[in-house]
């Protein structure tokens, strides 16, 4: 069982992550044109993404809403089965924040608001970062942390 104090922090973290994502998207939707922060390298560019990662599969918004809801339901239902270490819990909450951030957009607007533009990569948003951090963090922990734990147990 996750300690009450740690659990409170993690729930606060998820709320802060979702709020930051939605606030940034709110400002992005108000931009009339791309704003260069570092010319030809890093811009803020409002993009309506009707597809999924990198704008692939345009026009599947309703399917993505259902997929997000199913994945979110599975994660919430099985959250008590996840490892109780703080790192795993933080990664799980990053994953949830990413799902919820993009789900809010899909339900409210029919698209995901993207705005982080490095010019050599498709435009993305904070929720996309959260999803990637959560997924990569959980996979890396499973690969590296589990191997280290197995070595310790074997000795």
Q: Are strands 42-49 and 112-117 parallel, antiparallel or unpaired?
A: antiparallel
CB 61 within 8 A of CB 111: yes
Q: pLDDT (tens digit, 9 = 90+) per residue, 13-46?
A: 999 999 999 999 999 999 999 999 999 999 999 9
Neighbours of 106 (CB within 10 A): 17
Catalytic residue among 21, 105, 117, 128: 128
Residue 128 among the catalytic residues:
yes
What is the reported pLDDT for 82? 80
What is the reported pLDDT for 70? 95
Q: pLDDT (tens digit, 9 = 90+) per residue, 92-135?
A: 999 999 999 999 999 999 999 999 999 999 999 999 999 999 99
What is the reported pLDDT for 19? 98
Residue 117 among the catalytic residues:
no
């Amino acid at each position: 069982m996750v300690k009450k104090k740690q659990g409170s922090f993690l729930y606060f973290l998820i709320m802060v992550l979702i709020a930051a994502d939605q606030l940034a998207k709110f400002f992005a939707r108000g931009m009339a044109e791309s704003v260069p922060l570092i010319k030809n390298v890093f811009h803020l560019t409002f993009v309506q993404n009707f597809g999924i990662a990198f704008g692939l599969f345009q026009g599947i918004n309703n399917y993505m809403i259902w997929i997000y809801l199913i994945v979110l339901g599975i994660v919430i239902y099985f959250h008590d089965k996840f490892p109780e270490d703080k790192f795993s819990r933080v990664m799980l909450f990053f994953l949830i924040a990413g799902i919820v951030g993009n789900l809010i957009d899909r339900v409210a607007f029919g698209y995901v608001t993207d705005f982080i533009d490095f010019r050599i990569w498709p435009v993305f948003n904070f929720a996309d970062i959260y999803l990637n951090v959560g997924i990569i963090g959980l996979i890396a922990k499973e690969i590296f942390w589990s191997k280290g734990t197995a070595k310790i147990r074997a000795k």
